[in-house]
Chains A and B, each alone.
Chain A
């Protein structure tokens, strides 16, 4: 499967999902897709550093997707790691005619779902009354943290498929068709899941805006 292993430590690599708050555009992801294929080929040839660059590129994205599925950040990191290592083992099965990101995210999402089933993690994070009911007016950083906590709680209240779909679409910038491939569901179902998730999260955001000066 793999040629003789080469390389030592990892190298700096560009993370398409880490820089900035905007999701990667289709063109940007197409550009990096060719580089991804080169890195995959090198990894299959036994180049350890090439795999390190792939991990660096997709680490942030994989951790976010796993967290969308699992909720708990530590569980999410374990699942993301499982996903990367599983992808490494299955790398020979990767079809280089297709983009690498959705293939990897499918493995990561499956790893997160498996971990969720194994550990019998509750579907929704516990609702913190202090967060939901509001409290004393905090400073800006604390407010941002509070918004994050509320969003995570709202995500936790959605079904696993729904929250994964909306994160893949609005955060990671995948198309409906790509998400359908990642989640193994029809494209129409992806549209519906994203729509319902957005409606719920949009209400939360709107409420938040009303509360903040």
Chain B
């Protein structure tokens, strides 16, 4: 082989033959082919079934996560959207009236009629 062949665009037959001999497998090619073909079905099964297995294995955790997310979303949404009174006076304002005053200042347990009167007044 000449030095100029190092940049040759064609394969070098001498070097190629020597390398081929050096890398040539020692055993029969048919043994190797049989070995590969013995894995044929298994390779195809691995390529298809695991996809379904993976999807199935993720179904239950996925559903549980979705339900948990829905519940969390509902609770957070309800908290956020609920009206928050600005002060205790504002909160008590709808209940002001003689019924409420009697209920708060009374020493004795409230009479049921007073409570109902207070509620009816709010209506």
Contacts and interface: CB of A to CB of B under 8 A. Distances in A.
A100 B19 CA distance: 23
A15 interface: yes
A6 to B, nearest CB: 12
B24 interface: yes
A171 B23 contact: yes
B49 interface: no
A88 interface: yes
Contacts of A88: 40, 43-44
Interface string B10-25: 0111111111111111
Interface residues of B, number: 37
A191 B10 CA distance: 11
A105 to B, nearest CB: 14
Interface residues on A, range: 35 or more
B91 to A, nearest CB: 66
Contacts of B44: 2, 5, 88-89
Interface of A: 1-2, 5, 9-10, 15, 18, 21-23, 48, 51-52, 55-56, 59-60, 63-64, 67-68, 73, 76-77, 80-81, 84-85, 88-89, 144, 147-149, 151-152, 155, 166-167, 169-171, 173, 176, 191, 195, 198-199, 201-202, 205-206
Contact of A170 (B7, B11, B25): B11
Contact of B21 (A56, A84, A148, A166): A148
Interface in B1-50: 1, 3, 5-7, 9, 11-26, 29, 32-37, 39-41, 43-44, 46-48
A77 B3 CA distance: 34
Given A51-B40, A59-B32, A171-B20, A22 B13 contact: yes
Given A10-B37, A81-B36, A89-B43, 15 more contacts: A15-B29, A21-B16, A23-B11, A52-B37, A81-B35, A89-B47, A148-B18, A148-B22, A151-B22, A167-B23, A169-B11, A173-B11, A201-B19, A202-B6, A205-B18
B21 A80 contact: no
Contact of B1 (A52, A151, A202): A202
A171 B12 CA distance: 8
Residue of A23, A148, A171 contacting most chain B CB atoms (<10 Å): A171
A64 B39 contact: no
A52 B7 contact: no
A174 to B, nearest CB: 9
A173 B48 CA distance: 35
Contacts of A51: 37, 40
Contacts of A147: 18, 21-22
